[in-house]
Amino acid sequence: MVLVVHQQNSVSELAKKDVIDIYMGRYKTFPNGEPAEPIDFPLNSIERATFYLQLVGKSEQKINAYWSRLLFSGRASPPQKTSSKLEVIQKLNRDSIAYMHVRDVTKEMKIVYHL
Amino acid sequence: MFIISKRLTAFIALSTLFQLGFSNLAHADVGITFNGFANLGLTYSSNDDLLFRRSILNDGHSGFSVKPDSILGLQTSLRFSKNLDAVGQVILQDRQSSAFTNFLELAFFRYQFNRHWLVKAGRFSTNAYLFTDSRHVSYSFNWARAPIDMYSPAGAVGTLNGIQVEYVTSIDWGTLKVSGALGETKFSDPEVTRFEVDYNNMQIFSAELSRFNWRVQLAHVRADLENVSFDGVEQIKQLDNFVPPVLTPFINELQANILGTGQTISFTSIGGTYSTGDYELVAEHGFYQSDWSLGLASAFSYISLAKTFANLTGFITYSEVDRRKAIQVIDEAAAEQALPAPLLAQLGLITDPLRQKASLNSADQQSFIAGVRWDLAVKWAAKIQLNHVRVTDGSIGLFLLEGSGSRSAGNHVNILNLSLSTTF
């Protein structure tokens, strides 16, 4: 799996810690201060489960519980929801970041981290 | 004048946030989302005298009831620009009083200056404990409810109206978040116990260190007690007009202790969570410092261990609230030394009922908790939990005393809960 941003995004590389900061709601920006809008695969999808297990070693149910704490404490909003891989690709804009299998990366995307 | 200046300050703060936020407005940045959480719980509580409640602001029940652990929370998040957003949250639960402020949990504007700094204004969590800001969201933790020995009293000062500045930074091995807040809050139950108290000039500091598998938080809260009010408060204020002059010093001491005149209270807490593999450890300790007779100094603690087996998570928890001072409304030793027996008896007629009231307001109890969480579907969890609570003699713990005020059912309470929790 890889983390990708849009080609127009000025970010060219991220560390694992930066990815965790963004996907776990600690920061709303990339390290350079530009807005970061993470995109998630659908709940219960193999991509989502694999991503969080590889990123922070937590099951999807633990991630859902974690985000319910952050959301309802008003601290942060969870990554954008999608209903399919196609929607993940369509939603990727200059401010967003997404994870996906390396075979699904298109020429509009830039890989910023290999998981 | 002070009230006007505080409102003016709040108005200026909110106006500034709006101007800053809307100056950066772009249509794509604007949005509104609705979310919610719910817990449907069936609870059995075994003691007919000590009525179970999950927060000191809630009503008490014995036997079977769905009221103590059933909760519905509704949240709206508004995004005005990349930097400005707002959050509102109401929580419907079994409050004793129907005052709207007892249901309004969050109502704040937030402005993000840059990656590291943000400011919040409005009503938000005091963050006095690890789960203060999510203690109602049953789905977010393994328990049916956050340990009541620590989180029931947090209901009194769980939120404040004020302003908060927060700083977040990355350090080599984690993330550090530091915040400071100023504001005020009010404990209000005008309908049932008629007990009210203002916590003014609140100052809150909290620091949180986190990494993906652990989180540690340190918090300190201080506030000035003002406007303590309850049934009979006016008689207490005028007591010194109706006693012989020799009793006046003792009555003045009693008035100061009961009315909390000029008293400052403080909370200091440290807590952390750590998970490794299928195990999760959570522990917290908090210390409440006060000389106010109706809210004496206490220590709150719990430790909890959980292990996950596929979709099932079993947990055991020990928690307690430990009163750190003897209940005393006057210096009894000094009174015994200074007063002849008839006057001492007269003083006792005044102080005894108030000592009893202070005793009822002072919690001292231990809880043994065991339970299982079953993640049965995406965003749905079922739970079963048993609390065995032992209340120290002379205290009613964090329970509500049944209307007749009699105590024949002993000092132990078993609370069984079956619940279903979700978010949407």
- Tell me if chain A has a CB within 8 Å of the CB of B379: yes
Pairing of strands A109-114, B365-377: unpaired
Between CA B15 and CA A79 the distance in angstroms is 29
Interface test with B, best of A68, A70, A93 (most B CBs within 10 A): A68
User: Which chain B residues have a beta carbon less than 8 Å from that of A26?
Assistant: 168, 175, 177, 210
- The pLDDT of residue B13: 55
Q: Which residues contact B341 (CB under 8 A, 6 or more apart)?
A: none
pLDDT digits (tens, 9 = 90+) for B313-325: 999 999 999 987 7
Contacts of B157 (CB under 8 A, 6+ apart): B126, B128, B185, B187, B199, B202, B221, B223, B267
Greatest alpha-carbon span in chain B: 80
Q: Closest CB to A44: pick one of B115, B170, B378.
A: B378
Q: Give me the phi and psi of B113, to 5 degrees please.
A: -70, -45
Q: In what order do the strands lie in the sheet with A37-39?
A: A37-39, A96-100, A2-6, A109-114
Q: Please report the pLDDT score of residue B1 as a whole number.
A: 41
pLDDT computed for residue B15 by the predictor: 56
SS3 B241: helix
Q: Which fold has domain A2-114?
A: D-Maltodextrin-Binding Protein; domain 2 (3.40.190)
Residue A73 contacts B where some CB pair is shorter than 8 Å: yes
What integer pLDDT is reported at residue B403 of this predicted model? 76
| Structural tokens at position B310 | 């596929």
Of B114, B136, B212, the CB nearest to A24: B212
Backbone angles phi, psi at B339, to 5 degrees: -115, 140
Indicate the residue type of B127.
N
Is residue B151 within 8 angstroms of chain A, CB to CB?
Answer: no
Which DSSP symbol is given to B191?
T
- Residue B4: per-residue pLDDT: 45
Q: How many CB atoms lie within 10 A of CB B157?
A: 21
d(Cα B128, Cα B157) in Å, to the nearest integer? 8
DSSP summary character for residue B27: G
Q: How far apart are CA B188 and CA B173, in angstroms?
A: 43
**A residues 34-53 closer than 8 Å to B (CB):** 35, 43-44
- Indicate if the pLDDT at residue A61 is higher than 60: yes
| A26 in contact with chain B, both atoms CB, cutoff 8 A | yes
| CB-CB under 8 Å, A33 with B114 | yes
Q: Quote the CA–CA distance of A79 and B288 in Å, as a whole number.
A: 38
Cβ atoms < 10 Å from Cβ of B23: 10
**B82 has a chain A CB within 8 A of its CB:** yes
- A20-59 confidence digits (pLDDT tens): 999 999 999 999 999 999 999 999 999 999 999 999 999 9
- Those residues of chain B that have pLDDT short of 50 are 1-4
Residue B351: other Cβ atoms inside 10 A: 22
Q: Please, what are the domains in chain B?
A: 2-423 (2.40.160.10)
Q: Is B106 an interface residue toward A (CB < 8 Å)? A: yes
Chain A residue nearest residue B107, CA to CA: A74
Which 8-state DSSP code applies to residue B80? Answer: -
Alpha carbon distance B218, B269 (integer Å): 6
Instruction: Confirm whether the ipTM is greater than 0.85.
Output: yes
3-state DSSP assignment of residue B346 = helix
How far apart are alpha carbons B31 and B155 in whole angstroms?
31
